[in-house]
């Protein structure tokens, strides 16, 4: 049945947003919030892997990982450099910028839903 797939995708999206809304209502940086985010990520990865196609590993060479290593290193260097400089208003860290952007609860809920989609997609690869 062709209509089953769009309906399933819509239900999955609604579930992700509902999970994001619930988790974003928990006290930030609390144990329940941490457990909720990690458990949802684990479930997203398990579901992504179970619904994935090819079980063979992708290109895991250093050449394939190099851009991600460079990006991660640059972001870590920015975070560290900004962290040791003061005042914070002149040298914002990535986490302080992210906190400002993710302050509204709807944005946090959508960001968590997007993170879960990405986790499932990566597990499927």
Arithmetic mean of pLDDT over the chain: 86
Phi, psi of 102, rounded to the nearest 5 degrees: -90, 15
Using CA atoms, how far apart are residues 11 and 26, in angstroms rounded to an integer? 23
Q: What was the pLDDT predicted at 63?
A: 80
Tell me: pLDDT of 70 over 70.
yes
Helices first, then strands: H and E counts in the chain: 5, 0
Nearest by Cα to 24 from 104, 83, 98: 104
For residue 111, pLDDT over 70 is answered with yes
For position 56, what pLDDT does the model report? Answer: 59
CB-based contacts of 91, cutoff 8 Å, min separation 6 = 81, 82, 85
Using alpha carbons, select from 118, 112, 90 the residue that is nearest to residue 23. 112
Q: What is the pLDDT of residues 6-56, one digit of tens each?
A: 888 788 888 888 999 999 999 988 999 999 999 999 999 998 888 876 655
Long-range contacts of 34-38 (CB under 8 A, 24+ apart): 37/112
Domain ranges of the chain: 4-124
Q: What is the pTM of this model?
A: 0.72
Looking at per-residue confidence, does 58 or 96 come out higher?
96
The predicted structure's pLDDT at residue 1: 45
The pLDDT of residue 4 is: 66
């Amino acid at each position: 049945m062709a209509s089953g797939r769009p309906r399933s995708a819509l239900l999955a999206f609604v579930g992700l947003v509902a999970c994001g809304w619930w988790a974003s209502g928990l006290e930030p940086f609390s144990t329940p919030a941490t457990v909720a985010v990690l458990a949802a990520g684990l479930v997203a990865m398990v579901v992504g892997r179970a619904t994935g196609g090819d079980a063979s590993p992708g290109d895991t060479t250093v050449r394939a990982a190099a851009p991600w290593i460079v990006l991660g290193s640059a972001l870590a260097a920015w975070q560290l450099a900004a962290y040791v400089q003061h005042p914070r208003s002149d040298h914002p860290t990535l986490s302080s910028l992210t906190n400002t952007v993710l302050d509204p609860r709807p944005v946090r809920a959508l960001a968590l839903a997007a993170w879960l989609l990405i986790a499932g997609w990566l597990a499927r690869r």
